[in-house]
Amino acid sequence: DVKVTQSSRYLVKRTGEKVFLECVQDMDHENMFWYRQDPGLGLRLIYFSYDVKMKEKGDIPEGYSVSREKKERFSLILESASTNQTSMYLCASRRGQGNEKLFFGSGTQLSVL
């Protein structure tokens, strides 16, 4: 089975800090995604990447950036964390094209104080 690993289960950061969320997948998937999940809003796409060094904005990219230097690793960066970025962050990966099924990590619950 595909394994998608997120580096932290829980994170507590202070306003203004630079935050790195790391995600690694072990199945050579081309596509990787970062979502945030908030109660009542479902999952919203922040950024995705379809190849190494390639990235595309999702629906809510403001305040975030991403890095994909290696195929297996996709990092989400909060340049200057704010309290409204307190959320559950979910990384996912998928092979090829065609909107096939996503494989998710366990999530990182980020609290910004």
Partner 1 sequence: SQQGEEDPQALSIQEGENATMNCSYKTSINNLQWYRQNSGRGLVHLILIRSNEREKHSGRLRVTLDTSKKSSSLLITASRAADTASYFCATGSTGGFKTIFGAGTRLFVKA
Task: Give the CA count within 13 Å in the CB-facing half-sphere of 78.
Answer: 26
Q: Rounded distance, CA 107 to CA 62, Å?
A: 20
- Is 98 an interacting residue with respect to partner 1 (CB under 8 A)? yes
Closer by beta carbon to partner 1, 79 or else 86: 86
Tell me the site size for partner 1, rule CB under 8 A: 31
Binding region for partner 1 (CB under 8 A) out of 14-22, 34-42, 67-75, 79-87: 34-42
User: Under the criterion CB under 8 A, does residue 1 sit at the interface with partner 1?
Assistant: no
* Residue type at position 51: D
Written as six digits, the tokens of 50 are 């379809």
Q: For residue 19, list its beta bridge partners.
A: 78
Query: Binding string, 35-64, against partner 1, x = CB under 8 A?
Result: x----xxxxxx--x-x-----x-xx-----
Whether the CB-CB separation of 77 and 62 falls below 8 Å is answered with no
- Draw the binding track, 69-88, toward partner 1 (x: CB under 8 A; -: no contact): -------------------x
Helix, strand, coil % (nearest 5) of the chain?
5, 55, 40
Q: Which parts of this chain interact with partner 1 (CB under 8 A)?
A: 4, 31, 33, 35, 40-45, 48, 50, 56, 58-59, 88, 90, 92, 94, 97-107, 109
